[in-house]
Amino acid sequence: MNIVVVGPGAIGSLWAYHLHQAGHRVSLWHHTPSQSGLYPLSLCTLAEDTLPTIDFTTNDTEALKTADLLLVTVKAWQLEPALLPLIQHLHPDTIIVCMQNGMGATDSVYEKIQHFPLVLATTTHGAFKTDAQQVCHSGLGQTMLGAANLSGEQCTFLAEVFNHALSEVLWVADIRGPLWNKLAINCVINPLTAIHQCPNGTLAEEQFRPTIKALLSEIVAVMRAEGMTTSEEELSARVAQVITATKANHSSMKQDIAQQRRTEIDFITGYLIQQAQQHHIAVPNNLRLFEQIKQMEQLWIQA
C-alpha cells in the first residue's frame, strides 16, 4: 500500500518503520513547517538491537495524492490543524486512520473528513524518540482498529495489514469500548504522574490508593451511562496492571508538562468531564485534576 504517516513522533515513527519493513511504500508528513526531502530513521528494538536506517521521503504532495492510507499519529489537539490542509490532496478512497490518546479528537473535523473511509485506532505499544532520527520500541502492546463511519466498516482487512507489520492487531466491531478503556487508564495515570512528576510505577504506592479509587468510581459511572459494561474492580485491576507493566515509563502527559508542551488533557479528562455533564454525573475528583493540569499549562502559556 501507499501509506503516509502524518506526525512521525514516537508512535508514528514506530509504525512507519514497521510498515516499511512489511513491504509498503511509506512516506512521512511533518505538520510543522518542514522541507520535503529525505528523513532518516532507525529503530531500536525491544531486544535492544538497532536496525538499519531507512530514508523516508517527507512532505511529498505526490505521496499524498497516491496514498491508499493516511495514518495520523499527531497529538489529539494537533489533529485538526494537521489534517485539514492535507485533505484537498487526497483521493476520495484514501482511508484515514486516526491513532490518538484520548477521545473526541476527530469531532471538530468530522464533517470535513466523513466522506473518506474513517478508522479509529488505539495502541498500548510503548515508544520514545531518542533523537529526531531514532525511535525506540520500549514496550510490547496491542493495537485495536475499528470503523468511525460506514465506509470505514469496509476496512476490516487493515487488521491483517497492520498485524503483519507490528502485531498484535485486532479489528473490533465497536472501537468505543477499547477507546473508553484506554481513556479510563489515561484519566488516572496521566494527570497524576504529570502533577507529581513521577514515573508510572510510583502510583502503585499506598498513598495514591484512595485518589485512584475515587477517580475510578466517577469514571465507571460515566462509562456505564455511555453504555459500556465495566466495573470498578475490573478497571482498577486494569489500571494496576498498566502501572506495573509500565512502571519505569514516564507518561506522555508527565513528559509534556516537564517539557512545557501543551498536554492532551482536553481529550482525556476533559472528554470524560464533557460526557459526565451530558449525563448529569458529578466528577469532582477528575475535575480537580483537570483544573490542576490546566493551571500548570497556563504558567508557561502566560510566560
* Annotated active-site residue in 112, 182, 213, 254: 182
C-alpha angle with apex 135: 134 to 136, nearest 5 degrees?
A: 125
Determine whether 233 is exposed, middle or buried from the number of CB atoms within 10 Å of its CB (0-12, 13-18, 19+): exposed
Site for ligand PAF in 52-111 (CB under 6 A): 101
Site track for ligand PAF across 167-186, x = CB under 6 A: ------------------xx
Nearer to ligand PAF among residue 90 and residue 242 (C-beta): 242
Nearest CA to 262 among 252, 275, 277? Answer: 252
Q: What is the nearest approach in angstroms of ligand PAF to the Cβ of residue 101?
A: 5
Does 182 qualify as catalytic in the annotation?
yes
**Binding residue count for ligand PAF, defined by CB under 6 A:** 11
Contact residue for ligand PAF among 58, 59, 73, 190 (CB under 6 A): 190
| Sequence-ordered list of residues with C-beta below 8 angstroms from that of 24, at least 6 positions apart, any chain | 1, 2, 3, 161, 165
State phi, psi for 259 to the nearest 5 degrees: -100, 15
Nearer to ligand PAF among residue 8 and residue 152 (C-beta): 8
Nearer to ligand PAF among residue 27 and residue 181 (C-beta): 181
| 216 contributes a contact to ligand PAF by CB under 6 A | no
C-alpha cell at 177: 469500548
Nearer to ligand PAF among residue 106 and residue 246 (C-beta): 246
| Sequence-ordered list of residues with C-beta below 8 angstroms from that of 103, at least 6 positions apart, any chain | 179, 180, 183, 267, 271
Q: What is the nearest approach in angstroms of ligand PAF to the Cβ of residue 182?
A: 7
Give CA separation, 212 vs 95, 128, 237, 255, 265, in Å: 38, 26, 11, 20, 17
Site track for ligand PAF across 247-266, x = CB under 6 A: --x-xx--------------
Reply yes or no: is the peptide bond before residue 264 cis, omega within 30 of 0: no
Q: What is the nearest approach in angstroms of ligand PAF to the Cβ of residue 249?
A: 5
Euclidean distance between CA atoms 283 and 213, whole angstroms = 13
Match 492510507 to its residue by C-alpha cell. Answer: 69
Nearer to ligand PAF among residue 18 and residue 75 (C-beta): 75
Q: What is the nearest approach in angstroms of ligand PAF to the Cβ of residue 284?
A: 22
Q: What is the DSSP letter of 279?
A: T
Q: What is the nearest approach in angstroms of ligand PAF to the Cβ of residue 252?
A: 4
Q: Which residues are catalytic?
A: 182
> Which residues contact ligand PAF by CB under 6 A?
101, 185-186, 189-190, 200, 242, 246, 249, 251-252
